[in-house]
Amino acid sequence: MHPSQLDAGAAGTWMLGHRAVNRMGFGSMRVTAGQDRERAIRVIRQAVELGVDHIDTAAFYFSPGGILAVGSGPTRHATELIREALPAGSDDVVISTKVGPGFDSAGRFFMATTATQLRRQVEENLRRLGRDCLDVVNLRILRKPGEDSIADRFGALAEMRDAGLIRHLGLSNVRVDHIDEAQAIAPVVCVQNAYAVDLRRDDDVLEVCAQRGIAFVPFFALAGTRREAGATTEHSRAVQTVAAAHGVSPHQVRLAWTLHRGAHVLAIPGTGDPAHLRENVATAALRLSEQDLLALA
């Protein structure tokens, strides 16, 4: 596809809180990798130029040399790269961030569990993004077997929403019972869970989100079972066959498959590579047939 024809809006739109966004979005975790800060900023700007108006991020997306690494040297935060890339005062792009995971002053990972800790993380996101109010804040949890209530944590975020620090709330890495619990406290506009053609433990969550008009935002769509390790290079025969039939890459088929799971699905593929960005955005226009979908199922 010619670059001038690339359009993130080709997959349609879905309401994310207060506004409709293009279903093809952008994930910012990967822009913290590498050594070229200016290139990272250009990739974010190019994503917006190609029609992306939904960017996923988190204050804990940072790296002095590798994703989520902590050490000496200049540290780059995805949130600060986004702030630098977007025009001051711009409200054309909905920025979704996450709270829960974090790093303390000694570089140790922890999960925020108290209202005070969550408030500090919200304020850090505000500071690094240079904003007075966060568009969407997702409560990210470590999902455990059995019962693990999120009421106190989500309730703390709801109070911050009422105070004007947050516009909309979402959830990440949750089960259906977590969605039920959260919706009893405040509206939930999106759910971010790991989900891919080869990583489908949350079909029930996807269906519940469709029934309730909640945006479902899969991460690891390109990574699959490799998860944090990055885009997989191991593709099933079905994925390869469909890719060959359409003249596209297997990664594009994986991404298109998620978009075909429902009109409420928002894609957030992440990359720091301009070529991969264009390939991802081109996928917004890729239409898979019923035969393709049956083969991939």
Architecture of domain 13-296: Alpha-Beta Barrel (3.20)
Distance in angstroms (rounded) separating the CA atoms of residues 182 and 149: 9
Q: Which residues contact 294 (CB under 8 A, 6 or more apart)?
A: none
Residue spans of the domains in the chain: they are: 13-296
- Token reading at 199: 């990583």
Contact yes or no for 158/181 (Cβ under 8 A): no
Q: Give yes or no for residue 194 having a pLDDT over 60.
A: yes
Give how far Cα 126 sits from Cα of 90, 97, 118, 296, Å.
14, 10, 12, 41
Sign of CA dihedral 163, 54, 234, 31: negative
Interval 59-98: pLDDT, tens: 898 875 444 344 434 557 999 999 999 987 678 999 999 9
Distance in angstroms (rounded) separating the CA atoms of residues 137 and 159: 13
- Token reading at 116: 């005070």
| pLDDT at res. 71 | 40
| pLDDT at res. 75 | 56
* Site of tokens 């909640």: 214
Interval 134-191: pLDDT, tens: 999 999 999 877 778 999 999 999 999 999 999 999 999 999 999 999 999 999 999 9
Q: Which helix (H) or strand (E) holds 34?
A: none
Contact yes or no for 104/59 (Cβ under 8 A): no
Q: Give the residue numbers annotated as catalytic, written as ranges.
A: 61
